[in-house]
Amino acid sequence: MLSNTADSVRASLNRRGRWKIGEIAFWLVAASTLFLLPERHLILNEIAIIGLFALSLDLILGYAGIVSLGHAAFFGLGAYAAGILARDGFADPLLGLGVAAIAAAVLGFVTSFLVLRGSDLTKLMVTLGVALVLGEIANQASWLTGGADGLQGIAMGPILGLFEFDIFGTTAYTYSLVVTFLLFVVARRIVVSPYGLSLRSIRDNALRARAVGIPVNRRLVAIYTLSAAYAGVAGALLAQTTQFVSLDVLAFHRSADVMLVLVIGGVGYLYGGLIGAIIFKVLQDVISAWTPQYWQFWIGLILVLIVLAGRERLTERVRALWPRSRGRTVDRPQPLTTTPAREV
């Protein structure tokens, strides 16, 4: 019985782990923009960074059910960590990414114990509070962060000692796209693993997950820390490719925008953040050029229309292309009848 269940689960995860044609086409199109849209590399770089930031939020919101209104705390910390490092003479971009990821991961690990307590409303307030506190610290510590004037004097070295950043954004976009793709591959492998399956079970019913022996708190702490590290890398990419960091990276609208990106693209299938980032940034670019004063009004109106029309119906056909069960019947694991294990 248990052997059949394990085989069924393994087969289901293997099917989800295979790359679909739509996925391959998506990344081929993304790579082709390096050559087909050379004049749009600056905005494409922003899309890649926003997509990675949205991916980090989707890891906790879409797969673990942890809501957050302060995800900008990790994004901003990563940006300041990479920026300060480069300003002080450590200009290697990869070193900056590593330091930003570690700094954000440490903050995520420390705050995860606060976030896991209480209801969804409590989590919203705690995450928002962490971002606000960090923003005020950055504002007051002007000797370190530049305060309201921003962190200036950032000078990045060449990537791998070979590729210099250029004013056209070609190197920056290539760099951001490669980093986003590599981290996406890691995230994709995680969500189609048994660990990812346990996260979905916790999201759906934490009490039942704990009853069958899943260490709920440890799983949530781990994914929250990983999500923070991803957000920190996204912030570092922004600091390195723009060579400037301001208090804006810790502002509330950063968290709100990335939540909006996920609402547009869809939660819980990784590509939602990437697709949402494309739609959001293109809309912002087009509408702000058309009406600079009221572009937020029109984006808000489009969001309302998407919600009223039913985003799930609009994206159902798109979702079928990604690593997720389609409408056909799939093998479902049989319910376990073993004695519940106690969480260690």
Q: Alpha-carbon distance 154 to 121, whole Å?
A: 39
Q: What pLDDT does residue 81 have?
A: 94
- 159-186: buried (b, 16+ CB within 10 Å) or exposed (e) per residue? beeeeebeeebbbbbbbbbebbeebbee
Instruction: Name the percent of the chain lying above pLDDT 90.
Output: 37
Q: What pLDDT does residue 311 have?
A: 55
Backbone angles phi, psi at 111, to 5 degrees: -80, -15
| Strand positions, DSSP E, 1-100 | none
3-state secondary structure of 163: strand
Q: How confident is the model at residue 216 (pLDDT cuts 50, 70, 90)?
A: confident
Q: How confident is the model at residue 13 (pLDDT cuts 50, 70, 90)?
A: low
319 has a pLDDT exceeding 90: no
318 has a pLDDT exceeding 60: no
Mean per-residue pLDDT for 237-266? 90
Mean per-residue pLDDT for 109-116? 87
Helix axes 93-115, 120-140, angle to 10 degrees: 140
User: How many C-beta neighbours within 10 Å does residue 128 have?
Assistant: 18
List the one residue out of 29, 55, 24, 59 whose CA is nearest residue 44: 29
Lowest mean pLDDT among 56-70, 205-219, 281-295: 281-295
3-state secondary structure of 245: strand
Q: Alpha-carbon distance 8 to 2, whole Å?
A: 10
Q: Alpha-carbon distance 235 to 78, whole Å?
A: 5
Q: How confident is the model at residue 53 (pLDDT cuts 50, 70, 90)?
A: very high
Q: Give the residue with greater pLDDT, 224 vs 207.
A: 224
Q: What pLDDT does residue 209 have?
A: 87
Q: Alpha-carbon distance 165 to 243, whole Å?
A: 10
Structure letter (DSSP) for residue 159? B
335: left (phi over 0), alpha (psi -120 to 50) or beta: beta
323 has a pLDDT exceeding 70: no
Q: What pLDDT does residue 104 have?
A: 95
337 has a pLDDT exceeding 70: no
144 has a pLDDT exceeding 60: yes
The residues, ordered by sequence, that sit 6+ positions from 90 with a Cβ below 8 Å of its Cβ are 96
Strongest mean pLDDT among 110-114, 156-160, 220-224: 220-224
- Helix, strand, coil percentages (3-state) for the chain, rounded to 5, are 75, 0, 25
Q: Are 98 and 252 in contact (CB under 8 A)?
A: no
Q: What pLDDT does residue 314 have?
A: 53
**Tokens read off for 49:** 């960074």
Q: Give the residue with greater pLDDT, 4 vs 122.
A: 122
42 has a pLDDT exceeding 70: yes
Mean per-residue pLDDT for 187-209? 88
341 has a pLDDT exceeding 80: no
Cα angle, residue 199 at apex, residues 7 and 315 outer, rounded to 5°: 95
Q: Are 218 and 40 in contact (CB under 8 A)?
A: no
3-state secondary structure of 337: coil
Structure letter (DSSP) for residue 338? S
Q: What pLDDT does residue 9 have?
A: 64
CA 321, 327, 333, 335 torsion-angle sign? positive
Instruction: Name the percent of the chain lying above pLDDT 70.
Output: 84
**Tokens read off for 87:** 């300003």
Q: What pLDDT does residue 328 have?
A: 40
Q: Mean pLDDT across the chain, nearest whole number? A: 83
